[in-house]
Copies of this chain bind each other. A is one copy, B any other.
């Protein structure tokens, strides 16, 4: 067999593939990213993808799982801590929203060397309720929803579940947008805006979301009075 073998260190092939896939899926989307692009960037052999991950789709699931699972775990931790440190076990709306949003912004900041990729991956995945990522994403979203929705509802002081559900959806929209907004602002204005810190961005988006949720709560109350 004609083989020009240059051995690759064998201890991190899988991670190299995951890293490259995360970057390229985020930048180009799943379908437009070929396995050869991934393996070229990761400097591994094409067959390694199927060996370690069985299929391209399974690779996507793995990328999503390792990206989003820590965020959701962090959310749960923050909320648990909040409830412990709140005298009545009932966090305020501002605190609850922070616990929801902060992990996503933290993840953005933690990916300093590939900061341009994570926000787009998240934006792409969040736009696809029935897409390829659904089997991985829906259970995760379900768990977070089950945990946070009652807290939001209590903090908003509303009776209707639909008010909370819509508020949560708009909050997700804000949060997702927040992750890519710097790129958009740059593209639209052509200005090099001074870089905002993560805490500044967090303050802005939490302020907006809390204001919006409180407005929805007020709306519900005034509709009840009118009915």
Residues of A at the B interface (CB closer than 8 Å) are 28-32, 120, 123-124, 127-130, 134, 138, 141-142, 145, 162, 165-167, 169-170, 172-178, 180-181, 183-189, 193, 203-205, 207-216, 218-219
Contacts and interface: CB of A to CB of B under 8 A. Distances in A.
Contacts of A216: 204, 207-208, 211
B219 A215 contact: no
A185 B175 CA distance: 17
Quickly give the copy total for this chain: 2
Given A120-B128, A207-B215, A169 B185 contact: yes
A129 B212 contact: no
A142 B189 CA distance: 8
Contacts of A210: 215
* 4 nearest CB pairs, A to B: A211-B215, A173-B177, A31-B32, A208-B212
A138 B189 CA distance: 10
Contacts of A211: 211-216, 218
Nearest to A206: B215
B170 A178 contact: yes
Contacts of A178: 169-170, 173
Contact of A129 (B31, B130, B187, B203): B187
A170 B120 contact: no
Contacts of A120: 127-128
Contacts of A185: 165-166, 169
Nearest to A132: B32
Contacts of A188: 138, 141-142, 145
A207 to B, nearest CB: 5
B31 A130 contact: no
A72 to B, nearest CB: 14
Contacts of A31: 28-29, 31-32
Contacts of A193: 162, 165
